[in-house]
Structure 1
């Protein structure tokens, strides 16, 4: 097991591993335990009572955080003609079609989110095997396959985050930076939890939100009482 750094060890002393904190307490603690020299990202980890092996128990979607993530997001848009012009005008960082596909096939990934107009999905499908595992494949469920490219770009730049349950039934999503005001982190937290609760599949049985925790990039996880998440 990797040896934990001095900062992590010091931070872990402040956190009681047996306590389930309220969201406000956890956010205050996570900011105290983020001791790295850079502006650490604060991540939310939610274990859900779903079995992601079943298609009817998938949890996936996107939500615009009221205060963004604190990260500058580079948006790539697969579009042609008027839609390409619209994407450029809306502030997309990269716009194109076949030439971008060729670039990505050669190993270029200088973007964070990919958007595509529906008529471009045949072209984008050629690199699905490469984009899919990196979570970069445009998807109608997350609003990244659309003819309304202007809205898609604006939402992403404003702080839209995608959430998706992984193989272990956990959702990992950034909710901001250590430098954020505690209230802003709390509002982002509530917005995201609200979206996850709304996204509960009808096929999910029993307790849906099993465990919730927040952690900074280099800090320890802080457990939150699942019954207090939307207080």
Structure 2
């Protein structure tokens, strides 16, 4: 069977590791509350995404530079503190997006500094080169933000018929539960299942297409052996 298409597909996935492959939210389930609570709409999602860019990426990069010089028990303390310090300038940036975001999110905004995604990423970048550390951190951040933005757009449309506060669908029946935490968890579950289904369908179609392709002389020779 010709597996060329499958290999190309897997190669593409590996290039998007952390974004499409091994997405921290959908496949690993990391920091789900942090993603679900703010993603009631695009404004909240954008505010938390900016704050994560300021707090999460530099902290992971710093942990990669320091490496194993800090013992495990000390890393658990030091890096959340570093992230908390970076949350101070992040607050000023976020206020330009949504002045009321702190009142809306409450303690969930501070969870940017202490969450499973941060702890997971810190341990994953130990003994890696600086470029690889920065790339890994940006991919984890981008993968989480893409899913959160998609979830935020769907939930805002279902609940209010709007995007970024502007009404898009006036006559759409409203679904208030979409903006509740329960609605967020349900939507993330469906997204995870949908992504798994799409992945399996692509593999299935690739294998079927590959089996219908004519084999090269080399492959025919190997098959004859």
- Normalising by structure 2, we get a TM-score of 0.25
Whose strand fraction is larger, Structure 1's or Structure 2's? 1
Whose helix fraction is larger, Structure 1's or Structure 2's? 2
- Normalising by structure 1, we get a TM-score of 0.25
